[in-house]
Structure 1
Amino acid sequence: MPNFCKVLVISIPRTGTNHLFYTLRNIEKLNVRFELFNKEEAYSISKEEVGLLAERHKTCWQNNRDHQFINWSAENPATLLEFLAEKVAINFDHLIFKLFPNQLSMNQIEAMFRNTSNLRIIFIHRRPIDSFISMMKSIQTRKYHNHDTSDLRVDLCSRYFMEWWSSNYNWYRMVENLADRFSLPQTTLSYEADINVAEEELLQKVIEATRTIGLDLSRSAAGRYEGLEKQDKEARYDRKVQNWSTFEAELRTEHFYDRAFGSF
């Protein structure tokens, strides 16, 4: 399977990646995984796949929530990816998965970059303030999709936002530097321009973007699966945030306002 590529989406929570991945199921030859390295559950790895890996490595893992398996995956990311590629290559041309901050250490990411064949990277960015508000609403409701939060107003802490922004900014820069160091093909998608659009347009934008990193997905768009509905449809920040005036003033005082509305 010399041309089989593993496509890694690098992003942070609340950037539309679930909607993107659900929509990408319409590309027949793309094997869509989700958070393979989530610390609570290795999403989209089946019990059968865990069993096959356990047999191969002469151990006994129960399922994708087995923390011994999760820890092994984090220590051996390339081995996991090569196994999945080997298993699905008969039916698919490529595999896509995503990674968020703190799911793997930088040393583990470096090992994945060094040892995974045919790795491609897509960075996804969203306006920071929108990701932050969406995150706060999801924390308050404990609902991460299929729940309308338009009427919910949250209180924001400017100090927490600035710390959150700095941490995520550093995450993107460190991964970008590693990708450059290993000369990995990479491209970028924007939530505003590429993901928060009609699903057919989203697919076309992904097809165009991935063409720049050597993938041809255009021959297999199927159009059977729907993405997710946007949770927060409110556009005005003073209707999303209870203390918006105070929060905005504090960001301006700290010369942080432009960063909130810029990009990571």
Structure 2
Amino acid sequence: MNNPQCKEWLARLYRSGQYTDLTIICDGHTFNVHKSVICMQSSFFEKACKKNAFMEGETGVVDLPGDDPAAVKAMLESFYLSSYSYDPKHPQWSLHTKVAALADKYDIKPLRSLAQELLGKAKHEVPKHEVEFATAIQWTYENTASDDQIRRTLVQMAVDHLNHLLKNESFSNIVAQVPELGRDILVENQERTDMTRKMALISKYTYKCIHCDSGWALLHVEDRTQNCPRCDTSQLAQWDWMFIYQWDCSICGYIIGSSNDNETVAGDEWICPRCGGQGFKCSNKLIY
């Protein structure tokens, strides 16, 4: 809702608590809200409050058993304020993950996006609050589907601080208890390793041999020679090239990237642009 005046009215309506016509109960907590506000933003509540359809439509009372009261309060607050309150001095991973789960459960897409955004903003706080982070990630894996984006967000945060987290007993215990979490961390870590290797090749100085039409990645312009490692001619031009294969020099370990399907060429026929030696190990195909 982008109209400033409407936003102000909704905020006043929320804070005043007047004219409510719907009661939501959750684990002993009672929230009085307005059907016209809630039902317009959630298909779940719209259906629940229909007359002559469900009991809730007749009684004006909706019970949400099993949901977290703090997350329900945040959800209802967002209907009026387009956000929800939380303590910014402390990371609220558990609150944000539970709010995101409620947003999925009750079909509130803007709230899902907001919770995901707020969750990501706390990523730098992980090393300071490992126990709270471990609690949030355990709850998420116990209460969400395997393809839930919140899982991926938390796993990415975990991998960002993996060396630190693995020294924490609470986090290590949860990884041991939740096999899916351990698997997802391994997959994310491997994907980052692969990407780092690929980007290392892409970021090198790239050349195309005008003579044999091969493309190569060379690490430094001041290398011993800028001759083509395949045909040893100097007819090179700088080029923006996509690399398919990776080769390691058997002598100095220098890595080069090949743009064409030269994996069948004998390694001893190639000349290392770094040391001038001949002899390359078998190529590894890169995945792009």
TM range (shorter): under 0.3
TM-score by length of 2: 0.26
TM-score relative to the length of structure 1: 0.27
The structure with the larger Rg is 2
Kindly indicate whether structure 1 or structure 2 has the higher relative contact order, using CA contacts under 8 Å at least 6 residues apart.
1
